[in-house]
Chains A and B, each alone.
Chain A
Amino acid sequence: MATFAKRYEDPPEVWGIGRIVVDGEVTPWPVAQRDIEDEAGSLASRLAALGLERGGLVLVVAMLSQAVHAVPLERAAGKVGALYSSADATPFDAFRVAALTRQLEPQVVIGITGEVLDGLVEAGRDPIDVLGPVPAVVTADEDAHARLSAGGLSPRRWLKLGPTSAIEGLGDDRPVYDASRWRVEERDGELLVSNAVPRLTDATRLRTGIRGHVVEDGRLSVS
């Protein structure tokens, strides 16, 4: 019975079709299994820089359409020896963020948006009470970052930089990307990204829509 799927287990090279924003346009973005695994290998050190340890847990707050960015983080947790859990980055699913934060006591919650904070408030929860006990809270937009900072927390940033991610660590207020895998340049104050290692879908000076500059290879500042 266990062989029910094996006859057809010949998965296609394309792991899935996600999407990224290129030059302001939502663009379908096919990725391969090896792309996901390679990004996960790269992001494991970023999760470790946020304090995720073996036996710990990271709660990834994202949307299914953000799989190209979120799934490597989930796989990266496994490379650290940790578990992950998931919630949607929507006002409705904010109740799940609150419940899982209380039940599972994650070391890291990554992907908090202004909409998630709105959902907590709408549900009668104080976002600072919910997220305050979490050692590392990482925001996915500036609205959430500003509101949590104003509430006395020290949130870090998660930037979706074309097909890859740049994440601030606990001891670093600059978003860090993997310069061995991605090349980031500036043009007219906008960050452009290219893959430096093979990927199923090549990125060549993709306009990310993020304003900022490269402080040094692998480190950014954003405005």
Chain B
Amino acid sequence: MPRVSGRERRYFSPEIETLPRDEIARVREERLLGDMLPWAYQRSALIRETWDAAGVTPDDVQSMDQFHERVPFIDKDAIRAFRDRHRDPYGGMLCLDPKMTEVFSAIFSTSGTTGDPTPAPYAGRGPSMLVREFWELGCRPGDTFTYCLFTFRGPGIHDTIRGIGATPLFVDHQPADVSQLVRFSRELRPTAWYNLSGPLVIAIEQYAAATGIDLADAFATYQGVTLAGEPIGPRARRRVEDGWGLELFVHTGVGDVGAATECREHDGCHFWEDTCYLESLDPDGVEPVGDGERGELVSTTLLDKIAPLVRYRSDDLVRITHDRCACGRTHGRVWPLGRKGDEVVVDGRSVLPGDLWSAIEAVPETGAGLFQVIRAGREVDRLRLRVGYATDGARGPADLRTRVTESVHRAVGIEPDVELVANEELLRQGPPHKIPRVAKS
């Protein structure tokens, strides 16, 4: 097959990425109703148990209306409860025996940010749907692609980079590897980078401050960089985009059934409706919310036959639209807003970590945007924050505490109780790409 360069070409799979909406609906119904639901019910112990308890079988679900009316939800608690009840590390989700080495080559695991990592058997499926995103980043056959991640996600990203015809350049997503990231970027001239995160931004800034290196020069060949793990505040984003010259593409998981990534319009993250079905429901109920309104993401896979999630209440608060994007793609877009479990209500006022970001990073010493909401419960009397600060150059904790308090008060109209800690203390609490944004104490 001849190599296609296509640097000027916008889409990787134009016929799919611009599929008419009625065709998207047809593909969804065909895959979901005709294939995925019977498969999941017959083979996933958790799905079968949940459906049986609700008195539902796949025969009762012959239309999308019936899907919405009848199919029961599952969530992380249900998976954990099944795991504990049956001593099944896969939580009743597996549809195939993980010891089938003719099918599986490996067992990877989830990040484990909120508990024990969940093992995930891997069947070596080759390039993933991320080829569409990587193409949009500007990666083309023959390019070098910076693959900056961890090992526990498996070879899927590597296979996807090669599937596009590019060469992966392996870099650790670790502060300790920033010097090689910068050096290799300068020497090997990669065009795309997966992934950057808030903690890595901090590490790169510290490296640049210590060495005096010109990051705009070192990163000059990148056409696009995904930003994932957790959002960064608008000021940090400007520092990266204007100061380093990088175009960032927000990249987010969608309910553990896939990923969504911004296109060059930067107006929401595209998810692929030929691979998953996403609903946005009332976070405290079961009714759908309208396009553009805040809701809880409920996900269903259309492709994953190994551990299919069906109507999985993700706890993620999002806005979703199905309007055509200015880029021409017809698939839906999602804006991640935060996690339902991260919300606190102070005097009847809802506050999510994302509401505080700008106010905290507006203060120079806390400009890294490292903070936690202390959440003893959903409804609290006082907004309590633990805020990380750069220990060099602070004018003193008392003065700093006052300035952070005032900045947050101005932003959300609530006066917080602020505990100051060194940035490093918060960074130690998380995996390399994020920190826990909520703590119980």
Residues in chain A within 8 A of chain B (CB atoms) = 1, 4-12, 14-19, 26, 28, 30, 54-55, 57, 60, 62-65, 67, 70-71, 74, 77-78, 81-88, 90, 92-93, 95-96, 99-100, 103-104
Give the complex CA separation of A24 and B355 in angstroms.
Answer: 48
Q: A83-B105, A84-B105, A85-B119 are in contact. Are A19 and B180 (CB under 8 A)?
A: yes
Closest 10 CB pairs of A and B: A86-B151, A5-B127, A11-B162, A103-B89, A16-B168, A5-B163, A17-B169, A14-B167, A85-B107, A67-B170
Check B170–A4 contact: CB distance below 8 A: no
Pairs across A and B, CB under 8 Å, 30 listed: A4-B12, A5-B127, A8-B141, A8-B163, A10-B1, A10-B141, A10-B165, A11-B163, A12-B141, A18-B170, A28-B184, A28-B187, A28-B188, A60-B151, A62-B151, A64-B171, A67-B170, A70-B151, A78-B105, A83-B101, A83-B104, A84-B105, A85-B108, A85-B152, A86-B108, A88-B150, A93-B150, A96-B109, A99-B109, A100-B107
Q: Would you list which residues of chain B between 87 and 120 have a CB under 8 Å from chain A?
A: 89, 98-99, 101, 104-109, 112, 116-117, 119
Q: Does B154 contact A (CB under 8 A)?
A: yes
Query: In the complex, what residue of chain A is closest to B428 when comparing beta carbons?
Result: A92
Q: Would you list which residues of chain B between 143 and 161 have a CB under 8 Å from chain A?
A: 144, 147-152, 154-155, 158
Give the complex CA separation of A83 and B430 in angstroms.
Answer: 28
Give the complex CA separation of A209 and B106 in angstroms.
Answer: 33
The answer, among A17, A60, A95, A96, for a CB contact under 8 Å with B188, is A17
Query: In the complex, what residue of chain A is closest to B144 when comparing beta carbons?
Result: A17
Which of under 10, 10 to 19, 20 to 34, or 35 or more describes the interface residues of B? 35 or more
Check A86–B152 contact: CB distance below 8 A: yes
Q: Does B282 contact A (CB under 8 A)?
A: no
Q: A65-B172, A85-B107 are in contact. Are A9 and B127 (CB under 8 A)?
A: yes
Residues in chain B within 8 A of chain A (CB atoms) = 1-4, 12-13, 16, 27, 89, 98-99, 101, 104-109, 112, 116-117, 119, 126-127, 129, 131-132, 141-142, 144, 147-152, 154-155, 158, 162-174, 177, 180, 184, 187-188, 274, 430-432
Check A17–B107 contact: CB distance below 8 A: no
Q: A4-B129, A100-B117 are in contact. Are A55 and B99 (CB under 8 A)?
A: yes
Shortest beta-carbon distance, A22 to chain B, in Å?
Answer: 14
Check A17–B172 contact: CB distance below 8 A: no
Check B180–A57 contact: CB distance below 8 A: no
Q: Which residues of A contact B99 (CB under 8 A)?
A: 55, 83
**Chain A contact surface mostly:** mixed
Shortest beta-carbon distance, A64 to chain B, in Å?
Answer: 5
Q: A64-B147, A65-B172 are in contact. Are A12 and B119 (CB under 8 A)?
A: no
Query: In the complex, what residue of chain A is closest to B104 when comparing beta carbons?
Result: A83
Q: Which residues of A contact B126 (CB under 8 A)?
A: 5
Q: Which residues of A contact B431 (CB under 8 A)?
A: 92-93
Shortest beta-carbon distance, B124 to chain A, in Å?
Answer: 9
The answer, among A70, A83, A99, for a CB contact under 8 Å with B112, is A99
Q: Which residues of B contact A15 (CB under 8 A)?
A: 162, 167-168
Shortest beta-carbon distance, A88 to chain B, in Å?
Answer: 5
Give the complex CA separation of A90 and B132 in angstroms.
Answer: 32
Shortest beta-carbon distance, B170 to chain A, in Å?
Answer: 5
**Chain B contact surface mostly:** loop
Shortest beta-carbon distance, B37 to chain A, in Å?
Answer: 19
Query: In the complex, what residue of chain A is closest to B167 when comparing beta carbons?
Result: A14
Check A1–B274 contact: CB distance below 8 A: yes
Give the complex CA separation of A12 and B163 in angstroms.
Answer: 9
Q: Which residues of B contact A90 (CB under 8 A)?
A: 174, 432
Shortest beta-carbon distance, A119 to chain B, in Å?
Answer: 11
Give the complex CA separation of A10 and B150 in angstroms.
Answer: 26
Check A87–B188 contact: CB distance below 8 A: no
Q: Which residues of A contact B1 (CB under 8 A)?
A: 6-7, 9-10
Check A82–B101 contact: CB distance below 8 A: yes
Q: A4-B131, A7-B1, A9-B1 are in contact. Are A17 and B170 (CB under 8 A)?
A: yes
Check B4–A7 contact: CB distance below 8 A: yes
Q: Which residues of B contact A65 (CB under 8 A)?
A: 170-172, 177, 180
Check A55–B101 contact: CB distance below 8 A: yes
Q: Which residues of A contact B132 (CB under 8 A)?
A: 4
Shortest beta-carbon distance, A20 to chain B, in Å?
Answer: 12
Give the complex CA separation of A25 and B85 in angstroms.
Answer: 52
Q: Which residues of A contact B274 (CB under 8 A)?
A: 1
Check A1–B109 contact: CB distance below 8 A: no
Query: In the complex, what residue of chain A is closest to B158 when comparing beta carbons?
Result: A16
Most buried by A among B105, B126, B148, B188: B105
New A-B contacts (16) at CB < 8 Å, excluding given A11-B165, A63-B151, A77-B105? A4-B129, A9-B127, A11-B162, A12-B162, A15-B162, A17-B144, A17-B188, A19-B180, A65-B180, A81-B101, A85-B108, A86-B108, A87-B151, A90-B432, A92-B432, A99-B109
Most buried by B among A17, A71, A82, A93: A17
Q: Which residues of B contact A11 (CB under 8 A)?
A: 162-163, 165
Query: In the complex, what residue of chain B is closest to A62 when comparing beta carbons?
Result: B151
Query: In the complex, what residue of chain A is closest to B151 when comparing beta carbons?
Result: A86
Q: Which residues of B contact A1 (CB under 8 A)?
A: 16, 27, 274
Check B107–A96 contact: CB distance below 8 A: no
Check B151–A17 contact: CB distance below 8 A: no
Check A64–B116 contact: CB distance below 8 A: no
The answer, among A55, A64, A84, for a CB contact under 8 Å with B170, is A64
Query: In the complex, what residue of chain A is closest to B17 when comparing beta carbons?
Result: A4
Most buried by A among B106, B158, B173, B431: B106
